[in-house]
Structure 1
Amino acid sequence: MPSKCLKNAIRLEFSPGALVHANLSGAAFSGECLWVAGDEACGIDRLRRLDPSGSELLRFGDGLSFPLSELLDLPGAADEEADLEGMAVADGYLWVVGSHGLKRKNAKSDRDDAENAKRLAKVTLDGNRRLLACLPIEIGDDGQPCLVREAKDGRRARRLKGDAESNLLTQALADDPHIGPYLGIPGKDNGFDIEGLVVDGNRLLLGLRGPVLRGWSALLEIALEAKGEQLRLAPLDGSGCLIRKHFLQLEGLGIRDLQFTGNDLYILAGPTMTLDGDIRVFKWPNAKSRLAANREPVRFEAALTELLSLPHGQGTNRAEALCELPPELASHTPSWLVLYDAPGPDRKDGEYTVFGDVLQKD
């Protein structure tokens, strides 16, 4: 399990025209290529491994952008941000999930009190935020993995049925006694906000940054099936249950990302609201087996292990993405990549290069 953080061990070089530049919120690997998402874009960038140029452990660049509008029929406009927060590679697909949350305008220092009062009262929902989709990965003519709308073997891109206002997940949660009341609250106000994603077969775990209820953070477990060109919620068991809730004791922190490593679930956790505070990594031992054996619709899990705390700045360097490095990229030493939203000057090299950390054992 990780117990130390190697700062700025990963160098990411983006091109000036890339969809994703700095505010990184999701990451996943396909071999030696790294997929990254940013929470202010409506697309995904692929970076390939390059030879190190300095003291970094790994360097990625030579990026290629994949606009979601070319892969899916989006519920919103092609240029509306999807606020992608979670990513996972499984069974030939790249899975992505948007925050699903509302957003509130912020006050600005150059506006007067009356105008800022109006801004702070305005709550909106971008049309692509309630997106949950799988995108086929196919090897292109250059020998590198690409995202396609339909693969040669028949696999195709699909998203959970819905529109710019809701989808099958939010509809199923509307009357939920724990989550339902928070669907109308902006994510950064402890409202509904998906930030973590892991995939195990047709089952997905969605980690919520919010709401955090009396210190308990929530994982939503769902199953998906393809119907025509869309994804639908499938029953988790014979009872017809569509959503299971797992409340985790993360000491008041919300879930920022998730990663299965073997049978264990690693959880990146941080403040649910916009503030500078603790960012920690927890482990849920034997989580995959325990989830597979569970049939209860709601359960509580307090037996988590805190592994380490990560650094953060004042308004900068907020850890948002956690994923396991492929063994061949880490000299077969178990390692995890951490990427940051709002990287500070200490994590940047010019306008288009940012650095991530590597977590390893001592």
Structure 2
Amino acid sequence: VLSFTEGAPTADDVRRVLGLVGSETYLELFGIIAERRHAEVFRYVGRLMDQGYDLAEFYRGLADAFRSLLVTRLDGVEAAGVREDLRDAFAGAAERFAAGDLLRMLAQTAELDTDGRFRKSGQQRLLLELLLLRFSYLESTVTLEAVLAALGGGSAELPLGAGARVDEASARPVVRETPVPRLAAPVQPVAPPAQPAPTQTPERTGPLEPGEVKRAWRATVEAGDGVPAGTTLFLRSAPLAVAEGVLRVQLPAASPALDRLATPAARRPLENALARQLGCPITLEFVADGGSEGPEPSRITAESHRQDRLRRLTEEEPLLAAAVREWDLELVD
């Protein structure tokens, strides 16, 4: 200390050399927070850095300063243990804050260094500036009695004006509810629910082309419109035959689709969906393929699979069928 001072060292010289922060520095900060001078926070921290203060030391002293301010607010300046020459300054600073505000600021200060987060951080200045800015933007606590008195036209006034918070723990008034008589509303007649209009199938002229019917059938089955659950796989691969407004669908004898579509009522949703695709009514007929009484099915090979795909394509497209017959075309994967 002697090497850094001239003449007899003073207490200020010792604090400056050791990097200790005096109580006057914290009193200056309390004024900035109370007056909500947000931009001054950055200049204040900058002065700390320029004067060589250790921010970790400043942080430790900040918690002690807020504790002294809270004790002064609750129990008087004598119980806070501050220097005698600064008692009036601490008493004046404590009067500018509510006890709830000081408690919140002290709690936030203690939380900043949880698990040594502040001491180990490489951005101590940023963390400290954010903490002090939160204090300057902190909403003030107002007792519920003051709010009720101000709203009721009493003589009490809100201490810090608009933007204040209500501390409900300070007072919980009992609110008595007065029953309000209700007027009986005239009973309006309830209109009967509107009946859905019957589905109308657009009229169509001209005969149905087998290819068109088969395309409409596959589109209806893929969309699932009117198709019973669990039958899509059987209906998608079923052979079809069209004759005079009737679509005959051949299904395996053990197919569950035969049972689920056995009655006209069960077939009607599917017939209506197919009619919307075609633009004219059509009747569905489901027949079994004969089961085990017919010839034994042949083994499925790659060639038979290609021939079956080509047969289905030509059934849906008459022009394609004519081209296959004319030029002896084959399906290539």
Q: What range is the shorter-chain TM-score in?
A: under 0.3
Rg (Cα) greater in structure: 2
Higher-strand-fraction structure: 1
Higher-helix-fraction structure: 2
Kindly indicate whether structure 1 or structure 2 has the higher relative contact order, using CA contacts under 8 Å at least 6 residues apart. 1
TM-score, normalization by structure 1:
0.18
